[in-house]
Amino acid sequence: MSLTPQESAYLEKKIGRKPNPVELQIVAAEWSEHCSYKSSKKHLKTLPRKGRRVISGPGYDSGVLDVGDGYVVTVHIESHNHPSAVEPYGGAATGVGGVIRDILSAGTRPIAILDGLRFGDIEKDTHARWLFKNAVRGIADYGNCLGIPTIGGEIEFDRCFTNYALVDVASVGFGKKERLIQNRADRGDYVVLIGGSTGRDGIGGSQFASDKLESENRSAVQIPDPFIEKLVIEAILEARNQKCIKAMKDLGGGGLSCAVSETSDALSVGIELDVALVHKREQNMSPTELMVSESQERMLVITSPEKLQTLKEICEKLRVSYSIVGRVTEGNTMQIKYDKDTVAKLPSDVVVNAPLLDRPASVPKYLARISSIKKPKAPNLSQTLLRMLSNPNIASKHWVYTQYDHEVGIRTVIKPGQDASVLRLDNGKFLSVKIDGNSKHCYVNPRQGVIGCFDEACRNIVCTGATPIGMVDHLQFGNPEDPEIFWTFKESVEGITEYAKYFEIPCVGGKVSLYNETDDGPIKPTPLIGVLGLIEGKPLIPKKAKKGDLLVMVGLTKDELGGSEYYEYVHDVVGGACPAVDMVSSRSNQEAVLEIIGQGMTKAVHDCSKGGLGVAISELCITHEIGCMVSLDKVPSEQLAEDELLFSESHSRFLLIVEPSKIKAVRALLEKHKVKHDAIGKFSGKNIAFKNKSKVVASVMVDKAQEKWLNSLGSLVSHG
The answer for residues whose C-beta is within 8 angstroms of residue 374's C-beta and 6 or more apart is: none
Q: How far apart are the first and last CA of the chain?
A: 37
* Among 521, 653, 599, CA closest to 213: 521
Closest to 471 in 3D by CA, of 397, 527, 552, 417? 527
Is 406 a known active-site residue? no
Q: Cα(257)–Cα(419) distance, rounded to whole angstroms?
A: 41
Distance CA 585, CA 654 (A): 12
Choose the catalytic residue: 34, 606, 673, 677: 34
Residue type, 522: P
Residue in 80, 474, 651, 677 annotated catalytic: 80
Give the count of beta carbons closer than 10 Å to the beta carbon of residue 64.
Answer: 24
DSSP string of 3-18?
A: --HHHHHHHHHHHTSP
Report the DSSP beta bridge partners of residue 176: 71
* Helices (H), ranges, 88-188: 88-105, 126-146
Bridge partners of 78, per DSSP, are 169
Task: Give φ, ψ of 647 to 5 degrees.
Answer: -120, 0
Q: HEC string of 581-592?
A: CCHHHHHHHHHH
- 484 three-state secondary structure: helix
Residue 264 is which amino acid?
S
3-state helix, strand, coil split of the chain in percent (to 5) is 40, 25, 35
Q: Where are the beta strands (DSSP E) in 200-293?
A: 247-250, 270-274
Q: Give the residue numbers marked as catalytic.
A: 34, 80
